[in-house]
Structure 1
Amino acid sequence: MIGSLKFYRQDKGWGFLTIKPGEDIFFHVTDCVDLDPRTLGEGDQLAFEIGKAKDGIRTAAKQVRIPSDGDVVDG
């Protein structure tokens, strides 16, 4: 799945990706693969998988990375 960076809180190590208008998903820096989110800007495209946050309850983006040819846009 591909989304765009809504924002990243460097001091907290987490942020949100926009999947489509009105639908955002949480991500944590520990779920980034070969990627330093501090180097990204709002609107940058990122690929990810959907999984559970560490609390096991909330949905979260996992394996957050720079998109490749095999990644697909939702919708």
Structure 2
Amino acid sequence: MKGTIKSYERDKGFGYIQVPNSDDVFMHITGIISGNPKQIKAGDSVDFVKAMGQQGFQAAKVVLHQD
């Protein structure tokens, strides 16, 4: 799936990905496989897989596309 970082709390290591025509998807730092998690900011585009986590669906195999 493709989406855009809606929010990210760097000190807590989680945030949300906004997906067109769908609900926002929870993202945890442990799901990031490519890109620099320390530089994530709102508006960055991402590719990811939606997977079942402990409390529902969340982003997995997240690839950050930072400019």
Range into which the TM-score falls when normalised by the shorter chain: 0.7 to 0.9
| Identity within the alignment, % | 28
Distance (whole Å) between structure 1 residues aligned to residue 50 and residue 20 of structure 2: 14
Q: Flag the structure with larger Rg.
A: 1
- What is the rounded CA distance, in whole Å, between the counterparts of 1:65 and 1:41 in structure 2? 14
Question: Contact 2:48 / 2:60 at 8 angstroms: preserved in 1?
Answer: yes
CA contact (8 A) 1:8 1:37 kept: no
Length, aligned pairs only:
65
Greater share of strand residues, 1 or 2?
2
The answer for unaligned runs of 5 or more in structure 2 is none
RMSD: 1.7
Gaps of 5+ in 1: 68-75
